[in-house]
Amino acid sequence: MMYLIFSLTVSLFAQSAPPSSPRVGVSVSQTKLSLQDAIARALKSNLDIEIERTNTASTRAAVRGALGYLDLGFRWLPSLESRDTPTGSILAGAGGKIAERFFGQNFYLRQRLPWHGVSLHADFENMRTTTNNPFVSLNPYINSRLVIGAMIPLMRDRATDRERTELRVRRKQVDISDTDLELRVIDVVTRVQSAYWDLVAARQDAEVKLDSVNWAKEQLARTERQIQNGVVAPVELSAAEAELERRSDTYLAAVGAVTEAENALKTLIAGSREDSIWSDQIIPTVDHPVTPPNIDDLRPAVQQALSKRAELRSLSSRKEANDIQKQYAVNQTKPQMNLVAGYGNSGLAGSVLATENPFAASQQVTAARLNQLSALAGLPPLPAVTFGGSVPPSLVGGYGSTLSNLFSFNYPTAQVGLQFDWTMKNRTAEANLQQSVITERRLQLERARTEQLIEAQVRNAMQALQTARQRIAAAEASARAAKEKLDSEVRLFQTGESTNFFVLTRQNEYADSLRRVVVANLDFNRAVARYEQALGATLETHNIELR
């Protein structure tokens, strides 16, 4: 009776469903995904790529900002001024005070040109003045002035200056940022490939371990039958049962590894944690080894890598940016000599003062008495007393008359000159030049180091490919031999010529061989991704264009 109960329990256990572990956050819905689909999703949604794109947008905005030095500058300067100035001359103002009132409307334009550091300016100044000075013939009067000028550097700042240097450097930074984006895309694509093949391998490993569980169940059922037939001792049942539990444990661990591999891939291809793909099971549709780039010779492979790797292009752009800084530093060691030129015109108009000036008024009484005496003597009268003649009619009027005089070009002013500045030691410019030379040397060393690393990566990637090919062949041959040994051992067990131990051992050997096939294929596909990256052929291989 005890034997029958024991046998029934074993039979029920052998017929139970395979052990399973719940997938956290994963529903029954599935998303079938090829490798190219995974790469396309990553290019569209990967957050690392999106962050890098913001960096490229920032560098382009910086270029637009650097172009700001070419923007036309406009200044409007209205002003009101009341000025009371003490004076010791009775000719300047009554009561020892000159009272003046000013109202200004001034306009200024500033424009830098992109050539040779030339800058232009135009000043249009207008001032209405009221004064108590009795000797001013026009009161109030408006004075306008228009000046157009230019400054042309002859030595320092002619070949380049701070603003033009900054613009050129920022344009190089755009190239560097584009290269950084390319490097980020290559890195993400390579990681997606690795994550994809990790998921393929994890699922295949879980299948192998599930098969191993099923083999253990079959062996447990065989052992039960052999015990019932009296061919095998009942103690053999414990060994078969223990092995089944051990394999169930490894299968559950493999299911957890599938979830981890799936989450790693989802992190790369999902745009956010709200993406619907997080709740789906990902079913890879590609599970075979991929084809590597068709370059098997080391020298051509290294040459291709040196010509295509984005890291070297980035170093070249950085060197060009440093050359621009070096040119600016050399330019700043020169003396400052500028040619300054300008041409202007002035206009004036106002209202004629209604009262006579004090000199003319003081002479009127004397002139009248002399005219009376002259009349008694039969002499002609004296001419009218004046002080310097009358104001020209063109200067009498309002603001319109002022502008008319301004643009009549009757009152021009021309100026030309040199502005020379010399800093005797100029240690700042010399130190900046020295830093540029040091940076140039460092970039040369970085390029040599990068080229060396690239050659090592190509060598390692080619070695990994060759090794993986050989491992796949060896693992597949091992799996075939292990399967033959397992089938033979099962036949011997069924005839009573073998033991439960040997059958389970052969099953473990076969499962181990299958897992090594899985690992060898995984390593081969990873090696292909690394080889593409080492050659600089990742984007070309997967038909990716960056715009």
Which pLDDT tens digit goes with each residue over 348-371? 988 887 666 665 556 666 767 777
Extents of the domains making up the chain: 2-63+164-329+429-541, 72-115+118-156+338-357+384-421
Percentage of the chain with pLDDT > 90?
59
Helices (H), 229-352: 236-269, 298-308, 310-332
Give the whole-angstrom CA distance, residue 280 versus residue 32: 10
Contact present, 139 and 396 (Cβ < 8 Å): no
pLDDT at 11 over 60: no
Give the whole-angstrom CA distance, residue 214 versus residue 208: 10
pLDDT at 99 over 60: yes
Question: If pLDDT is split at 50, 70 and 90, which confidence band does 389 have?
Answer: low
Extract the tokens encoding 246: 């051990």
Residue 156 amino acid letter: R
Average pLDDT over residues 235-245: 87
pLDDT at 83 over 70: yes
Give the whole-angstrom CA distance, residue 170 versus residue 58: 10
Give the whole-angstrom CA distance, residue 93 versus residue 440: 70
Give the whole-angstrom CA distance, residue 328 versus residue 439: 14
Q: How many CA atoms lie within 13 A of 259 on its CB side?
A: 15
pTM over 0.85: no
Contact present, 130 and 143 (Cβ < 8 Å): no
pLDDT at 12 over 60: no
Most confident of 149-158, 225-234, 269-278, 385-394: 149-158
The pLDDT assigned to 438 comes to: 96
The pLDDT assigned to 21 comes to: 59
**In sequence order, which residues have a C-beta less than 8 Å from that of residue 273 and are 6 or more positions away?**
none
Extract the tokens encoding 489: 């051992």
The CATH number of 2-63+164-329+429-541, from 3.40.640.10, 3.30.390.10, 1.20.1600.10, 3.40.605.10, is: 1.20.1600.10
What is the 8-class DSSP label of residue 334?
S
What is the C-alpha radius of gyration for the chain, rounded to an integer number of angstroms? 48
- Mutual angle of helices 35-45 and 162-228, in 10-degree steps: 140
The pLDDT assigned to 402 comes to: 87
**In sequence order, which residues have a C-beta less than 8 Å from that of residue 372 and are 6 or more positions away?**
none
Torsion, Cα of 534, 546, 289, 19 (10° steps): 110
Give the residue from 139, 141, 135 showing the smallest Cα distance to 361.
135
Average pLDDT over residues 196-225: 92
Q: Which of 249-263, 387-401, 511-525 has the lowest mean pLDDT?
A: 387-401
Give the whole-angstrom CA distance, residue 251 versus residue 213: 8
Give the strand pairing for 119-131 and 97-112.
antiparallel
Average pLDDT over residues 498-509: 88
- State the average pLDDT for the chain: 86
Residue 62 amino acid letter: A
pLDDT at 379 over 80: no
Give the residue from 267, 311, 247, 258 showing the smallest Cα distance to 443.
311
Give the strand pairing for 412-421 and 336-352.
antiparallel
> What does the angle CA 9 – CA 12 – CA 15 come to, to the nearest 5 degrees?
150
pLDDT at 10 over 50: no
Contact present, 387 and 360 (Cβ < 8 Å): yes
Give the residue from 70, 75, 84 showing the smallest Cα distance to 115.
70
Average pLDDT over residues 199-207: 94
More confident residue, 179 or 137: 179
Extract the tokens encoding 339: 């040619």
Average pLDDT over residues 53-59: 94
Give the whole-angstrom CA distance, residue 377 versus residue 365: 19
